[in-house]
Chains A and B, each alone.
Chain A
Amino acid sequence: MTDVQATTPVSSTDREVIVSVRDLKKHFPIAGGLFRRQVGAVRAVDGISFDIHRGETLGLVGESGCGKSTTGRVMLQLDDATEGNIFFEGQDLTKLSNSQMRKVRPRAQMIFQDPHACLNPRMTVASIIGEPLREHTDMGPAERRERIEELLSIVGLDPSHANRYPHEFSGGQRQRIGIARAIALNPDFIVCDEPIAALDVSIQAQVVNLLLELQQSLGLTYLFISHDLSMIRHIADRVAVMYLGHIVELTDVERLYDDAKHPYTEALLSAVPVPDPRAEDIRKRVILEGDLPSPSNPPPGCVFNTRCPIAEQKCSSEVPEWREIGTEHWVACHFAE
């Protein structure tokens, strides 16, 4: 388990790896019975490994309950990992004490989904954005104020609005405040957890364009978690597809969308509606039967076997190997080639 070299599955390029995740598991205990003993576990993340290269955007896609948000939270140690390792610039975050982790936090930040819930309604925008500066730097009040105003103009907000409260802003503007807070300490790596899911279509493009600009100008690396496969195609360099706690396919974005090898990826892509009636008429759809199994009781063998259109006997008994079938194209399916 700790032998990282032997299990290094994904980095066959010479690009610098900023984050690597190895055999990561996160199980949430289920308590039951008279003494609230643990009677089972929700296997939210059940053994995933991948690398993120410096300066890239890795898209992490999947449906609700597949474990994509948990992955993001555990990577930043907002939740403890049950098993496995997370290396951030070579340092294993799972082994760090709280005070050591605090030193890493300025460089690894998060943007949350719901801009209503993640901003304290009783704090002004200046104090929300200033909080990380107060905690992690020795800036004086005047210097801090200057930085806050600079950050507000970077994210496209009026610096003179620094003393307003979150409720005075629209959803898109609130997400910009969340972004300003995340970039306040010049991080290297940001986990974006569904940052546009709560926004209207015309506002989504504004926020995505801002994230892409910031990536260029500040040299950021993103883990972009989303269920929106069209937006992932637009924003990501490589994409990992999750299903029931496992990554089933990982490759660069063009290959995934043009030549998906895992039957789940194919079904997922074919289910996304395209805003073009002509294209919709000729598209081939793979409609999956049934629903997502419970992550507290995942099916044996391949986790997708209960809904897979090409499943055979061995899929329900043998766990498919996570293997590289082409350069930088990883799939967990017995039949992918």
Chain B
Amino acid sequence: MSASDRETVLEVNGLKTHFHTQDGTVHAVNGVSFTLRAGELLGVVGESGSGKSVTMMSLLKLIPMPPGEIVAGQANFGDQDLLQIEADELRKVRGGQIGFIFQDPMTSLNPVLTIGRQITEPVLLHTDLDKKGAKARAAELLDMVGIPDAAARLKAYPHELSGGMRQRVMIAIALACSPEVIIADEPTTALDVTIQAQIIAIVKDLRERLGTAVVWITHDLGVVAGLADRVLVMYGGRIVEEAPVRDLYATPMHPYTVGLLASLPRLDQKGQELVSIPGQPPSLYAEPTGCSFAPRCAHAFDRCTSEVPELIEVHPGHRTACFWDLENGRPRA
């Protein structure tokens, strides 16, 4: 059960992504390193502009280039570096070995093609199945994601389905070629809570049955709590904390994570005053010269503005990028 002794399927080192815009260079991702282990569910949490989506999109070069540019980094997947391989090779990985689920199924499904056509497309592209086999596989996939009357539904167009059903179709497409990794970018954000609960239940069940590793990008700390094995917290284009899910919520080690958890109202507890984080998220136009959370941080001291903190391990599997030792209430050595 322990996630730590499983083999690594994806290893990202020092990823930096910039966007060159009219107003200047946006430093969207500023040196992100993490690993994804086989079969684990890795939650990536952050607010808008924290770089959580751009990080994952960069790995498969799904960002528009230009204006985007991957400035540095490695992404080892199997024996390949995804950031170095040729476009043809990368195309085999996308949709084949790594599946994607996007936030808004209405814009990521093609409105003029049937569901069946859209699910069989990756199957025909990435596997040896013929048309008939691909169709059977598509029906099987729809059944797997809990769409009733699957064979008939293959003929439906996206607009004939509800938001929750469309997101199930997206999951079916992502699963089509039995990928090792699925990257889900805010897959339930556009959905109502009762439908979100349906989708989360499906993903949990499928992960247990298929053993696919999942990267679940979200701004919702609640969703991650019940779903993830491990969590990365991002802020200003960097990972500021990384921990097994229980440790993160029980003993957060970065002041941003602490602030984020304190600013959330709880459904299961009587309200106390919400502690808000003062100030605004950082501007990403300047290359960070210190901790990007420092201007909003109650613990910030001179070192925080002059030096960028690296992630350091403070407990087994629990890393934080902060110069302040929250546990002992003093600066870290």
Q: Given A208-B274, A287-B201: A277 and B246 within 8 A (CB)?
A: yes
Q: Does the CB pair B261–A205 fall under 8 Å? A: no
Chain B residues whose CB sits within 8 angstroms of the CB of A154 once the complex forms: none
Q: Given A200-B47, A205-B263, A268-B194: A233 and B275 within 8 A (CB)?
A: no
**CA–CA, A288 and B267, complex, Å:** 19
**CA–CA, A270 and B281, complex, Å:** 32
Q: Which of B187-230 contact A (CB under 8 A)?
A: 192-198, 200-201, 219-223, 225-226
Q: Does the CB pair B164–A230 fall under 8 Å? A: no
Chain A residues whose CB sits within 8 angstroms of the CB of B265 once the complex forms: 208, 230-231, 233-235
CB of A227 within 8 A of chain B? yes
Q: Given A172-B280, A209-B274: A202 and B263 within 8 A (CB)?
A: yes
CB of B264 within 8 A of chain A? yes
CB of B276 within 8 A of chain A? yes
**CA–CA, A230 and B274, complex, Å:** 12
Q: Does the CB pair B221–A201 fall under 8 Å? A: yes
The residue from B162, B194, B259, B270 contacting A202, defined by CB atoms under 8 A apart: B259
Interface string of B158-179 (1 = CB under 8 A from A): 0000101100000000000000
CB of B273 within 8 A of chain A? yes
Q: What is the size, in residues, of chain A's interface with B at 8 Å between Cβ atoms?
A: 44
Chain A residues whose CB sits within 8 angstroms of the CB of B268 once the complex forms: 274, 276, 279, 283
CB of A337 within 8 A of chain B? no
Chain B residues whose CB sits within 8 angstroms of the CB of A270 once the complex forms: 197
**CA–CA, A206 and B273, complex, Å:** 11
Q: Does the CB pair B276–A274 fall under 8 Å? A: no
CB of A272 within 8 A of chain B? yes
CB of B63 within 8 A of chain A? no
Q: Does the CB pair A275–B276 fall under 8 Å? A: no
CB of B260 within 8 A of chain A? yes
Q: Does the CB pair B266–A274 fall under 8 Å? A: yes
Interface string of A177-214 (1 = CB under 8 A from B): 00000000000000000000000111111101100000
**CA–CA, A207 and B225, complex, Å:** 25
CB of A308 within 8 A of chain B? no
B129 to chain A, nearest CB (A): 31
Closest to A171 in B: B48
**CA–CA, A271 and B250, complex, Å:** 22
Chain A residues whose CB sits within 8 angstroms of the CB of B225 once the complex forms: 273-277, 279-280
Q: In this complex, which of B246, B266, B268, B275 has the most chain A Cβ atoms within 10 angstroms of its Cβ?
A: B268
Q: Does the CB pair A275–B266 fall under 8 Å? A: yes
Interface string of B265-293 (1 = CB under 8 A from A): 11110110111111011000000000000
User: Would you list the 5 A-B pairs with minimal beta carbon distance, nearest first?
Assistant: A273-B222, A280-B226, A205-B276, A234-B265, A205-B263
- Given contact pairs A205-B276, A229-B267, A291-B195, enumerate 11 new A-B contacts (beta carbons under 8 Å): A202-B260, A206-B276, A233-B266, A233-B267, A233-B271, A271-B197, A274-B266, A276-B266, A277-B226, A278-B250, A292-B192
